[in-house]
Amino acid sequence: MNIQEKNDKKETVLFSDQISFHEKENDQNTSFENNKNLTVENQNLKELLKAKEQQLNNHVNAIDTSNASIEFDLDGNILSVNKNFLEIMDYNEADLLGKHHRLLVDPAYSQSNAYQLFWSNLKKGIYQKDEFIRVAKNGKLIWLLGSYNPILDIMGKPYKILKLATDITLSKNQFLQLAVQAQEKEKRASELAIANKELAFQNEEKEKRAAELIIANKELKFQNEQKEQRAKELIIANKELAIQSKEKEKRAAELVIANKELKFQNEQKEQRAKELIIANKELAIQSKEKEKRAAELIIANKKLAAENILKEKRKVEKQKRAAELIVKNRELAYQEKRSKELTLAYDELKKAQEELESFSYSVSHDLRAPIRAINGYTQILIEDHIDLIDEDGKNMFNAIIKNSNKMGVLIDDLLAFSKLGRKQVSSANINMTALVNGVISDIAIEKDENNPIFELDELAPANGDPSLIKQVWVNLISNAIKYSKHKPETRIKITSTSKNNKIIYSIKDWGAGFDMEYYDKLFGVFQRLHSQEEFSGTGIGLAIVQKIVNRHHGTVWAESKLDEGAKFYFSLPDIKH
């Protein structure tokens, strides 16, 4: 029997009861006028019931159109399934009708005590809701947000179970993909910061080496100039020595001739005395001319050496300037390349932030609109037509309002988690003892929770954003109180210790605890290790804690045993470092 047939049956029973009631009144009243009035009243009541039946059918059809639904008997056997569920899970009716609910869940879970408790609660009429993942017939993973609703008979006892679910696979995958992209962007930003530091260090080393090369080049240049000068002086000295040698040889030859002539002249003293005097005078004149020419050659050689030195200097300066231009051009090309890479990285980061803001806007507006509509229409039905709705209907409408409100809370928590990644983290010295005492004073205790007993040591100060760190303590202390409410006593111990330039804070409770086998789900978004009925919450508090601590370059972790309590740790930079 589907939802439409169930509602038709209920309306028929209600109408029959109303008709029987008025027929009895007609039998008791013998007045013709009263019978006439009752007939009119019955007619009006029939029309009103028919309108309400049509309106309720419209609402049921709308829910069946927009949601996947499947019906079970109290033993878990599948009675019916709508088209939406078959399309989402890639089944046909023959695959499911008459089969047990175990077909749709993990085999290990279907053999567990939790699964038995789940069906036991449904048989008692306890409503069940959660976000869960299922494997379709084609092997595809499907995320569903839905509920198991016990359907009550006219006696108020469950006689079958209706499951309603919404496919949230697309939004879930988009959210997970955005989270991965955000982590990648943060990693790239860290790598860019390290690369910039390395580039600055390399530039400083290059400048230092360039200065050393300039000094070495100047020293080498000076030494070369000294060597060239000495070489030129040696060349000039050798030339002068060669000239002097030639002059001496020449003079020696002349002296030989002169001696011969002198001998001849001695023989002919009287005849050539005058000629000898004239020859000596001519020899003196020639010697002066030679000395004059030698001096002119020395001056010309010095000028030529000076011009050669000047040419060498200009050549060295040109080579030096050309090398400097090549180095500068290479540095400019490298800087342009790094500038383009940084620009691309900035554009990617900006695009990711715009996509995240667009997603937040969609969540804030597009998802809230249908929730407000469901909540509003349901409230109108309760306020305007309360007398025409039985207790079963009232309970169903109240459940719709309650679940739409819960969906609103989930959206608010999701937006808070999304905005947390874009919030600027300030840095200040935090008096952690005073901060935790303030959080303890501000936390409200619910009626069914014990008044907690706090054991608070003197906490070491740390460095971080006070408002964000306060939110960490609010979430951890609230969880410790909430998961201890079923214990005779709620006791919470908070301590701190210093290790490796970090301050490690811990908060321990002796509450429900959790199974370490599911530790990997502990800090996930919307991940819960306890049922909604046992402990309320949206499953995003610990994800916010991990996000804040990670942005402070710290770490968060936990230890626990089921039903023996839990101990959470997180680290922050030491105020001394």
Q: In the prediction, which pLDDT does 22 show?
A: 45
Q: Give tens-digit pLDDT for 281-323.
A: 777 787 787 778 777 777 877 887 777 788 788 888 888 887 8
Tokens linked to 558:
């936990």
Tokens linked to 66:
């927009």
CA pseudo-torsion sign 529, 534, 535, 537: positive
Q: Check whether 16 has a pLDDT greater than 60.
A: no
Those residues whose C-beta lies under 8 Å from the C-beta of residue 12, and which sit 6 or more positions away, are none
Q: Give tens-digit pLDDT for 191-233.
A: 877 877 887 888 888 888 878 888 878 887 888 888 888 878 8
Cβ burial of 353 (10 Å; 0-12, 13-18, 19+) is middle
Q: Give tens-digit pLDDT for 44-67.
A: 877 777 777 777 667 666 666 668
Q: Which of 55-64, 167-176, 353-362, 509-518 has the highest mean pLDDT?
A: 509-518
Q: Cα-flanking dihedrals φ and ψ of residue 86, to 5°?
A: -65, -40
Q: In the prediction, which pLDDT does 221 show?
A: 85
Look at the chain and count its residues: 577
Distance linking the first and last C-alpha atoms of the chain: 70
Starting at the edge strand found earlier in the chain, the sheet holding 491-499 runs 453-456, 491-499, 502-509, 566-573, 556-560
Interatomic CA distance for residues 531 and 517, integer angstroms: 17
Neighbours of 167 (CB within 10 A): 19
Side chain identity at 28, as an amino acid letter? Q
